Structure 1
């Protein structure tokens, strides 16, 4: 089978962006609070529509930010020839590339993009003689895979740099296994308007774009955390809209009176009733409010009231919908409802279990993607791209007191015989810089200890010879 031409690849990638545009744009709208309107009557007035806008209660950013805030790469452990990991340090080429690309701060946007849309991308390339990695948005980027469910290396990838405007065509960059191409296009679905410039080598042995997918099924489809939650988000918005309608129009008692006619306008000279053009008497305005009360001279007049609509059912329904959202999204209810009173440590830990498992799943799939990024960077730096033994080190984001951690680590050291140096990385909130500093200090202390031990072994003989006559 003949290899597809660069032009054919660009047409297919642009068509993929066009096919996914509506779905990804809808997800983006929900992330930023632009939701579908709740149901309302066809003849709804402006007041109804204002209440519909106020009914939007956007929970989707919390579904993205909660797991993303627990994802933080803190180091990279390279593999040695025996398959054993060796702790990274600040001078390793992999970590220098990480710091040079400012990924300490920029990694969060990559995770949030993958969690929001189902996938995001990174590009590893040489820029002005320096190898850098940056994130690419799923709204602008598409990739082709021979086996999208199992391959981590794209056959080709394309990212839009500028969209078409008026008569000006859009521009894009495309990469395959060897070359980078400059692409111009008139529209995503216009195969005739795509032009490709001559390719130039990008320096890697495979496509330098890496996909970060939150979840991939065996059909190669990626799903984020927002799209499955849209029906539940709409249900919450509808319930809040119904609550606002009841609160606005039916949350207060309505006073009623029967058997009483309002006073009407009369001619000041003749005292006769004034009628409008339809022959109806013109009533006088009544100044009635909560501070006033009505009375009637006619004993047949009857006063009454209509009870207000209870709002408790609407509030309970909102609470139930949020709990459903919490269960399906695997986000603890107290993260959404803010209710943590009277919860024991064991109850909090049990509530966090589902979220912890979800975060661990994300760390596994995103960690594999980062390992490919490090291999690409090593190859572009002139090294080998065959280091499949390395692994990223994720920061421990669990909230534990230093006293609890020290007690647990001490027991591991005493009861299991784990070397103290191997437990350093489990100290809460320790950074790679601190670990490297501790390592240097430990080497210095070890050198001083060896010197002191050598001196102590040499000193006793001299000291004994000098002190024995004096004792005699």
Structure 2
């Protein structure tokens, strides 16, 4: 039987962090532009090394930013109550009140970027002095255990590092299981014998582990993969091609002038009568070539540019030039690598190449289709995670109805670039031709927020109640040419 004691769980979770540390650090390095060096000769000089540093073209932030900027939660539609009636979506709903209290309008982007970059990130939901709040946790500092990592949404246990070890000061971490929170200390993630769990534990208030995983992609083995790691080989290939381009541009793209049949002038030094070197021309009686440390004459610097004319006294001297080498093939290679990058990563090519001239609306839509499918997949994955966060928050808040709401849905903002006129025309056709209720289409208006939507609902209800009152008064007033109510007829009689 497996050991499920708090100490055993803490050691297993810290061992996971130790196992994944190098892999996640490599991903982190590539995200921040610390890439592998391109190949260069072993005897490369400082100029080569400078070109290698300048050859790094970091495309990784675009990989993460393009889908992350299309992910924005701006509403939550609750499910039905036990009686079958929908729960109202208002600013006082526990889900949206928790969202605003946790400031997730701004903080949600960090959760998505972490999941897209490293493959997964986490959100911790807990009681605080300000109420129940949720916050994102980094994959580099957090690990979770699942009985079925491919299908379970609730981890068996989770641990997050709050302070790294420094010298003799041990590191600190918080561990959660289905009932309790534990304080964990350790000297190093690689030293499992130093792991200690404090005897004091406290209830976190939920019936399951309050840590939720946000995974960009999970296979049936429970492995998570982000958008960065699969693209590292192509990123290295782009860097190598650009390095070759810079070398060719520096050394072979310009004409090289040469001269044959002549020796370069030498640097001379002055000698006095005693044969000693002097810098005073008045004392100089002779001169000799200046020698380097190995005893070889040092050639003089030739000040040559396009405005100077070359000549030589010896008729056997010949001048010429070597043509610059072509670099067009290297530029085409960079372009091809970027296109491969775009195809594999499902990033529209014009996002990377900047070539959008003379593209029709249909061509742009076709180019964006692959990205749209990827974003839709991320929305379905992250949406389920947010729904669990909302249920946990409701349970910690004591709202049993919301805690058992498994039919609620996260609403994502439509981030596609469409004009308001196009959207209004399309929504109008849906209402008129298909009979869809107009109020049901309000959420599809581009840019509408949860607050605006609820304001519209309130104003519509006020207008509706005022209209009902006006119609009732009209029916109750005699002599208006309308049908009167039985009460008004009795009064008239």
TM-score > 0.5 by shorter chain: yes
Residue 199 of structure 1: SS of its match in structure 2?
strand
Stretches of structure 2 lacking an aligned partner (at least 5 in a row): 272-283, 483-493
Shift of 1:293: 2.0
Cα separation, 1, equivalents of 2:32 and 2:69: 18
Residue 212 of structure 2 is matched in structure 1 by 210
Q: Is contact 1:85-1:390 (8 Å) kept?
A: no
Which deviates the most, 273-282 or 427-436? 273-282
Match for residue 398 of structure 1 among 416, 421, 426: 416
Residue-by-residue CA offset, 1:131-183 (whole Å, 9 max, x unaligned): 11111110000000011111111000000111111111111000011110000
1:407 aligns with 2:425: yes
Which deviates the most, 278-287 or 38-47? 278-287
Stretches of structure 1 lacking an aligned partner (at least 5 in a row): 465-472
Residue 78 of structure 2: SS of its match in structure 1?
strand
Shift of 1:272: 9.0
| Structure 1 residues 31-430: aligned runs within 5 Å | 31-80=31-80, 81=82, 88-128=89-129, 130-197=131-198, 198-263=200-265, 274=289, 283-384=299-400, 385-430=403-448
Residue 238 of structure 1: SS of its match in structure 2?
helix
Q: TM-score, normalising length from structure 2? A: 0.89
Q: Is contact 2:474-2:480 (8 Å) kept?
A: no
Residue 310 of structure 1: SS of its match in structure 2?
coil
| Closer/same/farther in 2, CA of residues 297 and 153 from structure 1, 3 Å limit | same
Shift of 1:322: 0.9
Q: TM-score, normalising length from structure 1? A: 0.93
Shift of 1:16: 0.3
| Closer/same/farther in 2, CA of residues 144 and 300 from structure 1, 3 Å limit | same
Q: Is contact 2:184-2:196 (8 Å) kept?
A: yes
Cα separation, 2, equivalents of 1:206 and 1:285: 78
Residue 490 of structure 2 is matched in structure 1 by none
Q: Is contact 1:170-1:185 (8 Å) kept?
A: yes
- Give aligned pairs, total: 465
| Closer/same/farther in 2, CA of residues 353 and 387 from structure 1, 3 Å limit | same
| Closer/same/farther in 2, CA of residues 299 and 36 from structure 1, 3 Å limit | same
Q: Is contact 2:266-2:290 (8 Å) kept?
A: no
Q: Is contact 1:63-1:329 (8 Å) kept?
A: yes
Cα separation, 2, equivalents of 1:304 and 1:351: 51
Shift of 1:191: 2.2
Residue 446 of structure 2: SS of its match in structure 1?
coil
Q: Is contact 2:52-2:243 (8 Å) kept?
A: yes
| Closer/same/farther in 2, CA of residues 275 and 132 from structure 1, 3 Å limit | closer
Cα separation, 2, equivalents of 1:244 and 1:70: 35
Residue-by-residue CA offset, 1:197-251 (whole Å, 9 max, x unaligned): 1221111000000000000011110000000000011011111111111111222
Match for residue 440 of structure 1 among 458, 462, 487: 458
| Closer/same/farther in 2, CA of residues 106 and 83 from structure 1, 3 Å limit | farther
Which deviates the most, 308-317 or 113-122? 308-317
| Closer/same/farther in 2, CA of residues 82 and 304 from structure 1, 3 Å limit | farther
| Closer/same/farther in 2, CA of residues 178 and 43 from structure 1, 3 Å limit | same
Cα separation, 1, equivalents of 2:267 and 2:452: 88
1:449 aligns with 2:467: yes
Cα separation, 2, equivalents of 1:330 and 1:450: 53
